[in-house]
Structure 1
Amino acid sequence: MIVEALDFPRERVADLLARLRGRGETLATAESLTAGLVAAALTDVAGSSAVVRGGLVVYATDLKAELAGVDPELLAERGAVDPEVAAMLAAGARTRCGADWGVGLTGVAGPEPQDGVEPGVVHVGVAGPEARSVRSVRLDGDRHRVRAAAVRVALEHVAELVR
């Protein structure tokens, strides 16, 4: 139900989970603008509990530091919507949840800018055993569309790195 609502093929999520399960690897999330939608999409697939360790919803800036381990100085200097923040969210999800892979998302869904960053700007970080990557995108649409597209970008990015 969640995956279809986000217009992301359930088979692709199931394939990602199967690849991770086959390798004996786990995944965790730290989400800001998506507020748990990535974790919800992952756990919408039967058998996901063998792979998904958990997730952090760090909507408030202070929680990015307190729960996910993002450097408070980085947050003060650059704000919460920054590629390095996404990378640190991914690393924090991985370490704080004891997972092999972490994915972190930050961005602005709108309708108003946040800290001078326009709606639609999204940064997705992924941290894995031998991979660390950040993808930054500019997404169009209203708040719902930006958040749904951010979930798709995150799932695609993780899937590419897990291959």
Structure 2
Amino acid sequence: MTAAPGSPAPADVLAAAAARGWSLAVAESLTGGLVVAALVAVPGASAVLRGGVVAYATDLKASLLGVDPGLLAEHGAVHPGVAAAMAAGVRRAAGADVGLATTGVAGPDPQDGVEPGRVYVAVATPDGDVVRRLDLPGDRAAVRAAAVDGVLALALDVIPG
């Protein structure tokens, strides 16, 4: 996956983490592995990237990533608290310094009352967690691609270096 012009480059995210001596892991829902694929496409990614978890089904967010089942039951999978918990959970599960996460609705249909295009991305670091809401236009493919860009941009904003 090549970054579109003006998109955050996966290589920049890896370099920022490497500059801090930090490793990365990724938890993905609507992006279905696209974030990890973008990072893995960078030569030398293995020096920083620990791995990823695609928790597409809501129950897997709880069982694999430790997202509170009560949070999922009350708010559904598309919620800022879920994104933060996914990022923190993949950090723990992979033994990484930084966790990135994506959750949202790519469409074409709403999910749990949430319209397509609503996405939450999160980054968990030793310094804390940051979540960003994205309201993305376009079809399913456009929303998924923009979600990848969104989590990479947030990582560049959050990871000092």
* Structure 2 length-normalised TM: 0.95
What's 2:141 paired with? 144
State the 1:11 CA deviation.
Answer: 7.8
Residue number in structure 1 paired with 2:76: 79
Gaps of 5+ in 2: none
Q: Is it true that 1:64 corresponds to 2:53 in the alignment?
A: no
| Counterpart pick for 2:118 among 95, 116, 121 | 121
SS in 2 for 1:63: helix
Q: Is the 8 A contact 1:29 1:90 kept in 2?
A: yes
> Is the 1:8–1:152 contact (alpha carbons within 8 Å) kept by the matching residues of 2?
no
Q: Is the 8 A contact 2:27 2:54 kept in 1?
A: yes
Q: In the alignment, which residue of structure 1 is the partner of 2:28? A: 31
Say whether the 8 Å CA contact 1:87–1:134 is kept in structure 2: yes
Task: Select which of 79, 99, 104 maps to 2:101.
Answer: 104
Change (3 A) 1:11 1:46: farther
Quote the offset at 1:9 in angstroms. 6.4
Q: In the alignment, residue 3 of structure 1 is paired with which amino acid?
A: T
Classify the secondary structure of the residue corresponding to 1:67.
helix
Q: 1:107-162 CA deviation, whole Å, 9 max, x = no partner?
A: 00000000100000000111001021100010000000000000000000001111
Q: Matches of residues 2-13 of structure 1 in structure 2 within 5 Å?
A: 2-4=1-3, 7=4, 12-13=9-10
SS at match of 1:99: coil
1:139, 1:10 → 2: CA distance? 14
Whether the 8 Å contact between 2:83 and 2:103 is mirrored in structure 1 is yes
CA contact (8 A) 2:8 2:149 kept: no
* Partner AA of 2:42 in structure 1: V
Identity of aligned residues (%): 57
C-alpha distance in structure 1 between counterparts of 2:104 and 2:27, whole Å: 12
CA shift for structure 1 position 14: 1.4
Alignment partner for residue 45 of structure 1, among 31, 42, 45?
A: 42
Q: CA RMSD in A?
A: 1.4
- TM-score, with length taken from structure 1: 0.94
Matched residue SS, 1:3: coil
CA separation of 1:10/1:152 partners in 2, compared to 1, >3 Å: closer, same or farther?
Answer: closer
